[in-house]
Amino acid sequence: MSWTSWMPILVLLSSLVTALIIFCLPENRHATRGLLNLAGAVIKILLVTVMIVGVEQGMTFEARYTVLPGVDFILRADGMAMFFAGLSSVLWLFTTLYAIGYLENSPNRSRFFGFFSLCVTSTMGIALAGNLFTFLLFYELLTLSTWPLVVHRGTEKALAAGRTYLIYTLTGGAVLLGGVLWLYGLVGDVEFREGGMLRDMPEALHGQFALIFAVLMVGLAVKAAMVPLHGWLPLAMVAPAPVSALLHAVAVVKAGAFGIIRVVYDLFGIEFAASLNLLWPLGMMAAITILYASLRALAQTQLKRRLAYSTISQVSYIVLGISLFGPVGTIGALVHLLHQGFMKITLFFCAGNYAETLGIHDIKDLDGAGKRMPLTSAAFTLGAFGMIGAPPLAGFISKWYLGVGAVNAGMTWALWVLIASSLLNALYFLPIVHRLWFRPRAVAGWPEEQRLSQRFETSGWLLWPTVATALFIIAAGVFAGMPFSPLSWAQLVAAGEYL
Amino acid sequence: MIQMLLTGHLWLILLPLLAALASVPLARSRTLLPWGQGLLLLGWNALVLWLWQGGVPDTPATITLGASLVWTLQTDGPALIMALLTTWVGTATLVHTGLHRRAAAMSAKEATPAAFWPMAWLLLATLNVIWLGADLLTLYIGVEALGLVAVAMIALNNKTEAVQAALRYLFATLLGSLAYLVGAGLLFGHYGTLALATLAAEVTANGPTAAGFGLMLAGLALKAAVFPLHGWLPAAHASALLPVSVLHAALVIKASVFVMLRHWLAFAPVFADTLLPLLVGGLGATAILWGSIMALQQTRLKMLIAWSTVAQTGYLLIGFPLLLTDDAALQQLVLQGILYQMVAHGLAKAALFMAAGQLVTATGSDRIDQLTGTGRHLPLTLLTIGLAGVSLMGMPPSAGFVAKWLLASGAIGSGQVIWLVVLLAGGLLSATYILRLLRQAFREGPEQDVFHHPSRVEKITAFMLALMTLLLGLMAIPLLSLIDLPTAVQAGGIAP
């Protein structure tokens, strides 16, 4: 094996080994654990960076072996994989920092960080999976490793949410397995390749391919939280804030969305999928999800629940972009995968900061919080404006490409969906921003205030990751034209998908 | 015979027999026992690994007793796989039972009875007879002897409920053997031979064959606790001594299913057009459903695990109708799936029972509620339960997933989608009761008092078994390659 085939394996090991060591560490070795976590995260970012540069220069990083007769385990770094891997590795670092601060003085930290690292390992595996089998392997591992995080608090409410989570995800996993088995039974092991591989198969199978597509989409839509399979996500809010942040920005919902991207682009091929008439039903489902979830978000009174419904709606932007046939729509979908990750993780970090520092869970208690926590509130405002799609923030770039893509594809209704949802975004985000900055503080004071830091508004562990991800929202918008920015990388990947 | 002694395959049976003899004096001495057993286990493992490296021999060994009575022993792929499983589980069980410091410190009342050791080796020897047996006589002797040893071992626990369960089991196993004997007699009367290979070549669909085959299947089903003949199993597994439960659930049950499988491959093809395949598969599906529902209701850990065995045996039966296909590649795939399911379940169930035993040692109770708060004291034990549970659920990466994948591929390849649905739904059902266990471990509650800590050796032994289910889920080729693969399958994909 050359060093290039070791790279994808090392990327997985950098968090897997961390997880294993952490599981074995005694509960009270907090410093060692934190150091291990950070070392793992930094090593992972370095490895991913090397691979991104390599992929840009046309190198291939691939590791494979045969698990079963006729079924290979493949890890491969291509442009698409690096997109998701880059997002996960960067956000893992920030979330780890945040989680160290958030969980200070709480029990069972070994267990938490162990599964946390395992969860990131699965996410990286999903990113690097080179065929459906490998994807499925890590997709299910992700279900298993996130469940302990969802039920981490061990309360009856958390356990109930964990149960709902599993009912949805395990069933979705079983459906996905059925679809994968069906496809393997028909054509054997098919790898993910730019432009897709199924196009070259005999015409007689095309009818079954369409059905398989539908089955795979149902299996993936559960994790992507598309209506009507979204019920688990708002409940999973009981998990600790870093978990919610990771679940919403990178791990679970993105795994579903990324799976849809892989199936549409690299398994079927966008042109083949379009010729089988598979894209417009997907687009319709995405549009319904976007509008329905935005309306539900309006009705929520709890901050985290509102953010949860906002996630459901925003993730379907990616799916909508996929269903718009044409390179511009593809760029919009890919770039939103990243941009939404940064915006949503910032918003959840902020929600966690309000909850930890001031004990605020309900939106109505946020009045005047901007003066007490200016940096957090500024970050929240950036995230909210990004979500609405205000220039020059990250969200504007993705919405712009999605809109242009809709017009180019001749699907003007999609443009109207985007406009309507941006309006709804503004309707449910702007009142929060208004409360933060322009309403006077409630006379009764904060629900449960803690002084976590002498110098800053809250503990530095909680504050700086929030500020950093917020800065990314600006940078991704302002420097969109630079090389290695999410946008230019998306353009590079999209160019490969159309022949 | 001589050649077989030289190639070593007969030693698969002889070595455990000798070990059983050696264990009689060994078990009298507390100090010598661990060393002696350790030595025997080392020799046994070395032998099996050596045989594994050597691959599958071509010629069977025969021992002629009379004109038509011939013992045929053959180590084919399935036999070797099962012999490997027997070695792994057997070694782990014996190490877990007596090769650690806590066992040496136990009082005479707590310690495992001395009779356990020779009986365990005898059990392992009869198991190997069954894996290697290639004629009805050898198989009958194996099945009958196995049943009697197993009953005696369950009765080792000197409690009323264990003795009652052993009696019920004795009744079931004797009835089962009797049915098998009558069936074998009918077949011998009709075909004049007992060798399975000859029978398979000559078999035709007629009355005596149907009656003989049916009786044998029914008798074995009773011994394997196939739904609806499972009534004796939960009580027997829950009341026996821990190592006995482990051996019984992981290996003894498999032996009856394995003999069913041998006969199925020989006789069932001529009955492929009858309702028989549907009946067997249907019983399997019902077993999965009923076993899972019952497992979910249990409040005691060992009962839950025992009911899970009933459900998991159902998976094996689902494979039976899938074997009846003309496509040799598909048939291999399903056969691999069934054997892999036996290995996966054997390892996972053994690990689960051992972990349960550790929890009983630690908290003094085997109620499922008792798991609350034990996680902090016994993280490795809980990890063992988690890993074994993942395999039982058939979630990747685990041996259970590989088995499910192979069986489901077979179902799709032969167009029998109904069994695919059963397999996928069955996985979800097993998830319900496994996760009920794991939920308890995450529930925050008052901490339990821990009276005795299981020794490190015990914890690691169980964990190693669970870890093996994980590793075998990532590396299936070493075991699967023991079963000949048609080139079509190796090339990748099953042609439509």
What's the pLDDT tens digit per position in A353-399? 999 889 889 998 988 888 889 999 999 999 999 999 988 899 999 99
- Report d(CA B80, CA B71) in Å as an integer: 18
Is B255 strand, coil or helix?
A: helix
Contact A68 B405 (CB under 8 A): yes
Residue pair B241/B157 in contact (Cβ under 8 Å)? The answer is yes
CA dihedral of A399, A404, A410, A415, whole degrees rounded to 10: 30
Can you read off the two tokens belonging to residue A180? 């994968």
Region of residue A189 (phi > 0: left; psi between -120 and 50: alpha; otherwise: beta): beta
Identify the pLDDT of residue B496.
34
Q: Which residues of A395-421 are buried (b: 16+ CB within 10 A; e: fewer)?
A: bbbbbbbbbbbbeebebeebbebbeeb
pLDDT > 90 fraction of chain B, expressed in percent and rounded: 55
Residue B488: pLDDT band (50, 70, 90) is very low
Residue B172 CB neighbours (<10 A): 22
Residue pair A93/A45 in contact (Cβ under 8 Å)? The answer is yes
Residue B311: pLDDT band (50, 70, 90) is very high
Is A67 strand, coil or helix?
A: strand
Comparing C-alpha atoms, which of B154, B100, B112 is closest to residue B27? Answer: B112
Residue A358 CB neighbours (<10 A): 22
Nearest CA in chain A to B443: A154
Residue pair B3/B58 in contact (Cβ under 8 Å)? The answer is no
Q: Is the confidence at residue B487, as pLDDT, over 80?
A: no
Residue pair B266/B200 in contact (Cβ under 8 Å)? The answer is yes
| H helix or E strand, kind and range, residue A71 | strand A71-77
β-pairing, B61-64 with B70-73?
antiparallel
Q: List, for residues A45-60, the tens digit of each pLDDT value.
A: 999 999 999 988 888 8
What secondary structure letter does DSSP report for B494?
-
Residue pair B304/B437 in contact (Cβ under 8 Å)? The answer is yes
Q: Is the confidence at residue B491, as pLDDT, over 50?
A: no
Residue B248: pLDDT band (50, 70, 90) is very high
Kindly tell me the burial class for residue B211, based on how many C-beta atoms sit within 10 Å of its own C-beta (0-12, 13-18, 19 or more).
Answer: middle
Mapping DSSP onto H, E and C, the string for B149-208 reads HHHHHHCCCCCHHHHHHHHHHHHHHHHHHHHHHHHHHHHHHHHCCCEHHHHHHHCCCCHH
Alpha helices for A439-499 (secondary structure H): 460-478, 486-497
Is B396 strand, coil or helix?
A: coil
Q: Is the confidence at residue B69, as pLDDT, over 60?
A: yes
- Report d(CA A471, CA A463) in Å as an integer: 13
Identify the pLDDT of residue A445.
80
Chain A positions touching B421 (Cβ under 8 A) are 178
User: Residue A61: beta bridge partners?
Assistant: A77
Residue A136: pLDDT band (50, 70, 90) is very high
Backbone φ and ψ of A80, nearest 5°: -65, -45
Identify the pLDDT of residue B114.
87
Q: What is the length of chain B?
A: 496
Kindly list the residues of chain A whose beta carbon comes within 8 Å of any beta carbon in chain B: 23, 27, 66-71, 73, 108, 110-111, 136-137, 140-141, 143-144, 148, 151-155, 159, 162-163, 166, 170-171, 173-175, 177-178, 181-182, 184-189, 205
Identify the pLDDT of residue B65.
66
Comparing C-alpha atoms, which of A165, A113, A110, A95 is closest to residue A352? Answer: A95
- Looking at per-residue pLDDT, the higher value among B267 and B27 belongs to B267
Chain A positions touching B412 (Cβ under 8 A) are 181-182, 184-185
Q: Is the confidence at residue B194, as pLDDT, over 90?
A: no
Residue A223: pLDDT band (50, 70, 90) is very high
Q: Which residues of B147-166 are buried (b: 16+ CB within 10 A; e: fewer)?
A: bbbbbbbbbbbeeeebeebb
Residue pair B120/B4 in contact (Cβ under 8 Å)? The answer is no
* Chosen from B331, B391, B409 to mutate, greatest number of chain A CBs within 10 A: B409
Alpha helices for A188-226 (secondary structure H): 206-223
Does a cis peptide bond (omega within 30 degrees of 0) precede residue A228? yes
Kindly tell me the burial class for residue B167, based on how many C-beta atoms sit within 10 Å of its own C-beta (0-12, 13-18, 19 or more).
Answer: middle
Q: List, for residues B389-428, the tens digit of each pLDDT value.
A: 999 999 988 999 999 999 999 999 888 889 999 999 999 9
**A6-20, A310-324, A439-453, B127-141: least confidently modelled range:** A439-453
CB neighbour list of residue A314: distance below 8 Å, 6 or more residues apart: A336, A340, A343, A344, A387
Identify the pLDDT of residue B3.
59
Place of tokens 């799609």: A389
| H helix or E strand, kind and range, residue A63 | strand A61-68
Residue pair B250/B462 in contact (Cβ under 8 Å)? The answer is no
Residue A105 CB neighbours (<10 A): 6
Q: Is the confidence at residue B118, as pLDDT, over 80?
A: yes
Residue B131: pLDDT band (50, 70, 90) is very high
ipTM score assigned to the predicted complex: 0.91
Contact A68 B480 (CB under 8 A): yes
User: Residue A302: beta bridge partners?
Assistant: A362
Residue pair B345/B251 in contact (Cβ under 8 Å)? The answer is no
- Report d(CA B88, CA A253) in Å as an integer: 41
Give the DSSP per-residue string, A315-346: HHHHHHHHHS-SHHHHHHHHHHHHHHHHHHHH
Identify the pLDDT of residue B246.
95
Averaged pLDDT, B147-173: 92
Chain A positions touching B292 (Cβ under 8 A) are none
pLDDT > 90 fraction of chain A, expressed in percent and rounded: 62
User: Residue B73: beta bridge partners?
Assistant: B61, B133
| H helix or E strand, kind and range, residue B70 | strand B70-73
* Chosen from B325, B331, B332, B444 to mutate, greatest number of chain A CBs within 10 A: B444
Threshold 0.90, pTM exceeds: yes
Averaged pLDDT, A221-229: 92
Q: List, for residues A311-335, the tens digit of each pLDDT value.
A: 999 999 999 999 988 889 999 999 9
Residue pair A378/A457 in contact (Cβ under 8 Å)? The answer is no
* Chosen from B442, B469, B474, B482 to mutate, greatest number of chain A CBs within 10 A: B442
Contact B442 A159 (CB under 8 A): yes
User: Residue B198: beta bridge partners?
Assistant: none
Can you read off the two tokens belonging to residue A302? 């709890």
